Structure 1
Amino acid sequence: MRQLTKVEIERIKLLTEKSVEVTLIEPTVTGLGKSIMDATGSVRSFLKDKNIHDYELQNQGQESKVLINSYLITSDGLINSSASLYRPNTKKGDPRIWFKGLGAYSKANDILGIISYENDLYVVNVTQLDFESLINVLENNPLKELVNEINSLSRKVADELLILFREISLRGAIPAMLQADTAIGRTLETLLGININSSKQPDYKGIELKAFRDKRGNRKNLFAQVPDWSASKFKSSSEILNEFGYNRGEDFKLYCTVSAIVRNSQGLKLKLDTNVRQLIENSDKYSVGDFVAWGLETLHKRLLEKHNETFWVATDTLMIDNKEHFIYKSVEHTKKPIVSPFDILLEQGIITLDHLIKRTVVGKVVEKGPLFKIKPNALNLLFPPSQSYNLLPK
């Protein structure tokens, strides 16, 4: 898929803010001419997750074609359509999708959003339609009605936690309970009476806590997830460190950010293989090539486990008597993430991963990641409506 424009990104944000899950597809000149599109990995995963269709269970040939009731959304109405889901007898049965009437609805290389609601599919032209005016206008229209039907939220535990945060904030500058990058989160968890452990489950009654030092440009941690070693060339963090690490002080380490857009100084880059549903890390060293992989479904599951509901806690820091202190000043509250954009955000370099591996002087290899992070101000590409709260006294 081509790079999204700023306008297209803003339009996708509007859907995400309303808890509308959407997957994207880009028709080509050839595809429009032949009335055919590849069902990419993201599309296949979306249809499977929504219990619409599973291409893996579908036989090849026209006789096994599946039709799904669909609609093409315009600014003033719905166009009745149907989605044809099939695997041809040629080309190994690569999954295909087509929407009736799409040739008149879309131009080549438009970005189309596919939305599922009550077992029907809705196609919206992200490139051409003005989402802002359609969703926020007073009069009803098909896009606004669909978005409002899907949107929902709940408040109980969040209100309880917010009260605790306000009480903590009233205490002013609070000394860090250890000297480490993780001190900000550890201190907060201790203040809330949360036991420090390595559990991957959310921190407080189903709500994940992500405290961060409020510096402009800082990416935000989403979750940590080791590769699928069984599907990888390298079988441990130690092997990754041995191949790409460097000396820093007394430690031998690999601390770096890896993106799908450009190679980093270690020659590392991410790539998505939507056919096998994997995120792959690749080296420009000919002798190494692809060396670790993550199943995209595994990453989706971790995202949902970790961020069903999240408080992102912005914190100011200051030094008092040579010790770091924290002022917990504001909270951004996000709800269950919209999983379908995750792959696209990886592909666009908006979600990246950090390696945090080192070998200490005693020979022990320590791995704090890999950490999957999202660029600042991009949470609303992945999460529905966030609510912000100032914790500081007025």
Structure 2
Amino acid sequence: MTTAAKRQLKLGAILEGVGADHASWRDPDLAGDASIDIGWYIDNARLAEAAKFDLVFIVDSPFITPDTAPHFLNRLEPLTLLSALAVSTSKIGLVGTLTTSYWEPYNVARQFGSLDHISKGRAGWNVVTTGLEGAARNYGRDAHFDHAVRYERAGEFVDVVQGLWDSYEDDAFPRDKEAGVFLDKAKQHALNHKGEHFSVAGPLALSRSRQGQPVIFQAGVSGAGRDLGARIAEGVFAGVDGFEDAQEYYADLKARAVAQGRDPDHVSVLPGLSPIIANTDEEARALADAQRGSVSIDKLLTQLGRAFGYHDFKQYPLDGPFPDVSGLSLNAYKGHAERIVRISQEQNLTLRQAAERFGTWRTDFVGSPQTVADEIQRWFDGRAADGFILRVTRPGDFALFREKVVPILQARGLFRTEYEHDTLRGHLGLPVPENRWTRAPGLIAAE
């Protein structure tokens, strides 16, 4: 009789250079050009790998304004960056963001398939639909795709990409020099996809990697986003507002995955983690207060507005009630914007309070290493998370987490002390997907 594998905490690192807030870049130990310095990324990816993290993660978005947070203003393109990390590391997963709204499936299939080969099976694609409406003007469109259309397009996009990744059966290349046979032509397959949004013939000129296909990640808060994640994602970067909200999100997403006929253990829910750690809880709370006070209210209002397509919240009375924004289309980060409105109304927040609450990363993880480890375990044991994605920008903060918190989690048996696998699927406990052309004919026909 076999027993189920013990559930294991998963850890990723968002490499954010000079920071996605408006304060981290001023850290005296952080290089001012970290977001465009490949050496900074290589060093931090190697540190994360030495700490046995599952993956590093590169965020992206195709639109900025002069008020955008420092890291977003001047940063490297994800796939180029991750290709450099692939040859500078050997175990850690490499996950990057590319939008389905302003790219083409064939290009994305080729890029991530190439990264998967370069890294020997460590690639992951974070599927996004692009929330910022201004992106449309950077790609020759007068208007952004409607929210519902973005998610419909994204679902078809991923289906096409995964179909292209299966263009060759695993034994399609005999490479028989004596017989002069390089390819078994019967094992090369055109996709011939014709759908509502895409028409793609294929085949892709690239075989599958050691892990079969790159791992699919997604980050959806709205109903449409959750549905897409439940259908396609193997890792979900969850935007949540505290423990109870995280528990609701976790249960809901897993239930949606089951409704899709999927194994819920093959969908890892991974909230962001931005801990504030010091020797004692009192010192950590004082540090948290100081960090909150270091960001001006104008910058907090700008960050608050980002979820609403950079709506200008500076026009409203700061200490009046959170303004009625029901007239906005909410065609940007719809789920996040709706959550801000809901919580602000339920808790009768003023605009200032909402900006302080949502204009910066909220963290429930403030305290000594022991306290932070306790809270991580509470979320993990309480089915609020399968793991976390740690923000990495300030060198001292990352060192404290690696050197003080991770050993506690390892001592409790929650987190690995050594890698057992060398692919991203292996780290996450995911099976290698069977090539659709080698499945039983009935299964192929049912797709």
Short-chain TM bin = under 0.3
Question: Which has the larger strand fraction?
Answer: 1
**TM-score, normalised by the number of residues in structure 1:** 0.22
TM-score by length of 2: 0.20
Larger Rg: 1
Between structures 1 and 2, the one with greater helix share:
2
